């Protein structure tokens, strides 16, 4: 049975593993699931993941957003799968998803596909030479293709969660939403956001919250507030 606190994933976007451990200590039992991203990789990220998972019983989402040729992705995922992690992100291109699933074969680690980063809007996509169309339509198309390729779930903004949940391919799959901001929080570099309650109500299984928690004057209090809001859903 899933721990009810698992719906909140706290992003440990702090300078290094020591800062990550301190934040985890501060948050205590209020948080059972942590995200470790690319920015932490050279700051002891894998060691932090192992410490939190093996010594403290936390769940771990490794947010690497892998993208490469199939053989390279498969080998990278196979290596990461040995750490007994819970979630790993790759880009949602079908060849990447298929390779990642091969690399994760025999392990419980879920492969989550990135659709379009929540910090991007249509202007950003134009700059990247991404085909025309509104962002939501492109997210839905990428989500459907990634799920068809075998992804265990997708990463998408909370504004697209309900639309993705309505896809036939999403049945039994995970939706994890970054870009979640408690009411009144600064947006930072996020452009497609929603509150924690709205994201879960719209079909997300997990929400990812970083700066609004670890930059708060009282991180534990902020985590408790978010968990309290989710408790009644």
Could you tell me if 178 and 11 are in contact, meaning their C-beta atoms sit under 8 angstroms apart?
Answer: yes
Cα dist from 124 to 39, 78, 98, 131, whole Å? 21, 33, 27, 12
CA atoms of 226 and 5, how far apart (whole Å): 10
**Cα-based torsion angle of the residue sequence 49, 55, 57, 63 in order, rounded to the nearest 10 degrees:** 0
User: Catalytic pick from 22, 35, 65, 217?
Assistant: 65
Structural contact between residues 145 and 94, judged by C-beta atoms closer than 8 angstroms: yes
* Secondary structure of residue 93 in the 3-state scheme: coil
Q: For this structure, is 65 an active site residue?
A: yes
Whole-number Å distance between alpha carbons of 47 and 223: 24
Q: What is the DSSP string of 147-190?
A: HHTT-SEEE--GGGHHHHHTSGGGTT-EEEE--B--TT---TT-
Catalytic residue numbers read 65
């Amino acid at each position: 049975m899933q721990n009810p606190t698992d719906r909140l994933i706290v992003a440990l976007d702090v300078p290094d593993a020591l800062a990550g451990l301190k934040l985890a200590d501060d948050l205590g039992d209020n948080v059972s699931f942590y995200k470790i991203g690319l920015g932490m990789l050279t700051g002891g990220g894998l060691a932090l993941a192992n410490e939190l998972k093996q010594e403290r019983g936390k769940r771990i989402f490794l947010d690497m957003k892998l993208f490469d040729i199939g053989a390279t992705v498969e080998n990278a995922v196979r290596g990461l799968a040995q750490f007994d992690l819970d979630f790993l992100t790759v880009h949602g291109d079908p060849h990447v998803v298929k390779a990642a699933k091969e690399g994760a074969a025999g392990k419980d680690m879920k492969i989550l596909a990135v659709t379009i980063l929540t910090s991007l809007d249509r202007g950003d996509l134009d700059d990247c030479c991404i085909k025309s169309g509104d962002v939501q339509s492109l997210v839905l198309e990428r989500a459907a293709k990634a799920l068809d390729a075998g992804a265990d779930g997708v990463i998408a903004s909370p504004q697209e969660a309900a639309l993705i949940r309505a896809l036939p391919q999403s049945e039994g799959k995970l939706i994890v939403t970054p870009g979640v901001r408690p009411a009144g929080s600064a947006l930072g570099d996020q452009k497609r956001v929603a509150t924690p309650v709205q994201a879960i109500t719209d079909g997300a299984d997990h929400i990812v919250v970083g700066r609004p928690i670890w930059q708060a004057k009282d991180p534990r209090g902020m985590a408790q507030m978010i968990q309290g809001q989710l408790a009644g859903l």
